[in-house]
Amino acid sequence: MHRDTLHLSAGTIFAALIIIGCGYREQPRSNPFDPDSTDYTPAAYWEHISNYNSSYFNSRCGQSVIAFNGKMWQIGGYDGSNYMNNSAYTSDGRSWDGSAGIPGPSRAGHRALVFGGKLYVIGGYSGSSYLNDVVATEGTSWYTVASNTAFTPRAFFGATVFNGRMWVIGGHSSNAPYYYNELWYSSNGTTWTNTTPGPFSGREGCEVFVFNNRLWLIGGFDGTARLNDIWSSSDGFSWQAQGFAPFTGRTHFTATVFNKHIVIIGGESMPGVKLADIWYSADGAMWQQVNTPAGPAARSDHAATVYKNKLWLFGGSNSSVLASDNWFAY
């Protein structure tokens, strides 16, 4: 009896060890702040930055904000009266220091890119003319890379770095056809090559970004309608339509890749109609709206970037009011 009991217990223990060793699977974690959690929603929890020094940071729209050399930089913009060329940087989002203004005209509607260890600023609108210059810094002084590039002067275009090149896509100018579907790329900021125009309509206020090793374009305004179409490319030359997003067509919004998701914030759906909605997608096909209890108010022409594992949002325009509030999300 005693031996049988020991025998059965050993068998039971052995079977249990097999189950534990071969059949155990870690259960999904539940943590709303963990991107790998089953219940994580990007940009659902926002904090308002209420105590920042404003000597280099005032209400504005149409600026660029980007992470570079361990700091977050804000460049240019429009404050309701003047176009600006100043640049400021911060390591915490609250305490800002200024650097020399960028060369050339003051501007808004430009783009900033980090490429090859340099921070580039491209194009924009000065208040009287559209621009096609390129300026850069390595973190101290600014200098002109190209005063007159091969592409038509333009503003509110999409731009990103993809496959070892800087890309400029779309945009608006005072020259016909006014709204562009051109694709330009450069490996040095000086020489720009024009490839076959995209299969999408010419547009401004669109967003261009890299996600899952593909180049993406979403939304914008084509002179007639605010758009919600989605396009992507594996090489920048051949583009595939990815359907339409479930959110309202919009322009002058932000699209940021944050914690393995595309995050869309705000924009303008009709003249003077600003949006506050936030949407996200893990694949560019399936989209969900963020239900945030408290976050940024409706706006367009704001700026967003990822810095120190947070999604940051700055400024913008809310109808006739320029926003001076700054936010970050987890």
In this predicted structure, which of 10-19, 146-155, 235-244 has the lowest mean pLDDT? 10-19
Q: Give me the helices (H) in the chain, please.
A: 2-18
The pair of three-digit structure tokens given for residue 219, joined into one six-digit string? 């939304």
pLDDT at 37: 76
pLDDT band at 94 (very low <50, low <70, confident <90, very high): confident
* Residue 38 or 209, more confident: 209
pLDDT band at 3 (very low <50, low <70, confident <90, very high): very low
Q: Which residues pair with 262 in a beta bridge?
A: 257, 281
- Fold classification of 41-329 (topology level): Neuraminidase (2.120.10)
Whole-Å CA distances, 156 to 131, 195, 243: 11, 20, 23
pLDDT at 29: 56
The pair of three-digit structure tokens given for residue 284, joined into one six-digit string? 């560019």
Residue 160 has pLDDT above 80, yes or no: yes
Q: What is the DSSP string of 13-53?
A: HHHHHHIIIII--PPPP--TT-TTSTT--TT-SEEEE----
- What does pTM read for this prediction? 0.89
pLDDT at 61: 95
Quick one: which H or E segment has residue 175? none
Residue 20 has pLDDT above 80, yes or no: no
pLDDT at 24: 46
Residue 17 has pLDDT above 60, yes or no: no
Mean pLDDT of the chain: 89
pLDDT at 133: 98
Burial tier of 324 (Cβ tally within 10 Å: 0-12, 13-18, 19+)? middle
Write the pLDDT tens digit of every residue in 51-69. 666 666 678 999 999 999 9
Q: What is the mean pLDDT of residues 134-152?
A: 96
List the domain boundaries for the chain. 41-329
Residue 21 has pLDDT above 70, yes or no: no
pLDDT band at 292 (very low <50, low <70, confident <90, very high): confident
pLDDT at 4: 45
pLDDT at 35: 77
Residue 130 has pLDDT above 90, yes or no: yes
